A and B are shown apart, each in its own frame.
Chain A
Amino acid sequence: MLFLRQAWTIAAKDLRSEFRTKEALNASLSFALVILLLFSFAFDPTAEMTREISGGLLWLVFAFAGALLLNRSFARELENDCLDVLVVSPVPAAALFLGKALANYVLLLGIEAVCLPVFGVFYNVSWAGQPGWLALVVLLATWGITVIGTMFSALTVNLRLRELMLPMLVYPVLIPCLMAAMQLTTPLIAGQPPSGDQLAWVRMLVGFDIIFTALSVTLVETVLIG
């Protein structure tokens, strides 16, 4: 119980900081919108093509924008040596990690919530055909991205080339999660409910989320305390 309260305190702190400055949020959101725009020039998709690439397009946008946002997660603590103070405090590293992951989750979901209607407008697509399923897929896959991104943010926090290293390390690990999200999202945006085959992707997402949350929570203390 105390653990959850501590995680919540950290999450609230991160969210308060971010909403006050909006640095990462603005950068990430602008980046997402620009990519959406660029893709429409790159492919100039017809209605049919859009239906086919919608899942891939959306999750690429979310992944790129997400990496930008998640990089800041632990890096923001380096100013004024706040990371040291947090690690020294009685808050366990696992609670610190979960708190940050929660804050990132909220921020990333917010960005996605803005991108979806923009996507609908730019590409002339009605995307809310299967709102329940779409919400489930978005919630599951975004948590996968968040957990991995936050963990790697902790891993690379003390490195010189942090901004370069994080994307390079994170994307291969995210491939299964992104692939599942893309495969599930494309038919959902077209309005079709998931077939039996596709439920396997949902199960994989759940497994991915559980395993990497467990691994990250276990390993984050090793990463933060030398």
Chain B
Amino acid sequence: MKEKILYALGALAALLLARNIRVMLTGLPDEAFQGAIFRIIFFHVPAAFTCFLCFFIALIASISYLKSGKMQWDSLAVSATEVGLAFGAANLVSGMIWARIIWGIWWTWDWRLTSMLVCWLLYAGYLVLRRAVEEPAQRARLSAVLSILSFAVVPFVFFSIKWFRTQHPQPVLYGEGKMDAAYRAMLYGNWAPLLMLAAVLVMIRIGQENRRRELDALRREVHAF
């Protein structure tokens, strides 16, 4: 049953993406200043939204784990964080491609891109911490605390880097100005398939995590005595 839902969701996401890409390439006019490459924003920005939504879900899962002690919440926390990191990486890479084409440089210390990089490093630390802890309950507990602390830093990271950049400006990828209505519709329209894709990936990862935990428990049982 669960597999059927996953397949359905995946298929729907693929269809929506295909439709969106067709609209992007044929339906929308080129943006005035940046040309064709501006379309990358339809992946770049929703990837960031998805990334932080995943981190937020990881936060909720972490708090729930600490309250209830049920390992399922830990599975959700790690899965959401991993998928979030993947979408964060997508945001970073698309940003770098965009910067290369527009500005000729691979990296611009644009405040959004820089903030995403710092948050990415923050949550990469979460994965590194998990690798360093053998015992599952301890791993869940410590990484839950780290997840809470990390999410608390995120707003500070954004504010501090943004203020820093207003004092020391660098090339900006895209402005704050009003976007054409059609563009805005596509921006949010493309978010939907990305969210579905994220949901599919998280569910697959949760299944994997649950199976791994079961194996670990069986192994302990066999080796303990």
Contact = CB atoms under 8 A, between A and B. Distances in A.
Interface in A6-40: none
Contacts of A226: 137-138, 141
Contact of B156 (A176, A200, A222, A223): A176
Nearest to B128: A168
Given A161-B132, A175-B118, A155 B160 contact: no
Contact-residue bracket for chain B: 20 to 34
Interface stretch (B28-36, B144-152, B200-208): B144-152
A204 B153 CA distance: 12
B121 A172 contact: yes
A172 B132 contact: no
A165 interface: yes
Nearest to A198: B167
Interface string B110-141: 00000000100110010011001100011001
B205 to A, nearest CB: 23
Interface string B65-76: 010000000000
Contacts of B163: 200-201, 204
A4 interface: no
Interface string B146-176: 1011101100110111011001000000000
Contact of B157 (A159, A161, A176, A223): A176
B interface majority secondary structure: helix
Contacts of A160: 132
A223 B133 CA distance: 13
B21 interface: no
B145 A204 contact: no
A38 B118 CA distance: 26
Contacts of B159: 176, 204
A219 B160 contact: no
A120 B134 CA distance: 47
B57 interface: no
Contacts of A156: 129, 132
Contacts of A223: 141-142, 145
A181 B48 CA distance: 28
A175 to B, nearest CB: 6
A86 to B, nearest CB: 19
Interface residues of A, number: 31
B156 A165 contact: no
Contact of B152 (A161, A175, A212): A212
B129 A169 contact: yes
Interface in A206-226: 207-208, 211-212, 215, 219, 222-223, 226
B13 to A, nearest CB: 31
B51 to A, nearest CB: 15
Contacts of B137: 226
A177 B167 CA distance: 17
Contacts of A130: none
B164 A179 contact: yes
A170 B146 CA distance: 11
A135 to B, nearest CB: 22
A116 interface: no
Contacts of A201: 163
A46 interface: no
The 5 residue pairs across chains A and B that have the minimum distance between CB atoms: A176-B156, A176-B160, A172-B122, A169-B125, A172-B121
28 contacts: A155-B142, A156-B132, A159-B133, A160-B132, A168-B128, A169-B128, A169-B129, A169-B146, A172-B118, A172-B125, A173-B122, A175-B161, A176-B159, A176-B160, A177-B156, A179-B160, A179-B161, A179-B164, A197-B167, A208-B156, A211-B152, A212-B149, A219-B145, A222-B66, A222-B145, A223-B141, A223-B145, A226-B138
Interface of A: 151, 155-156, 158-161, 165, 168-169, 172-173, 175-177, 179-180, 183, 197, 200-201, 204, 207-208, 211-212, 215, 219, 222-223, 226
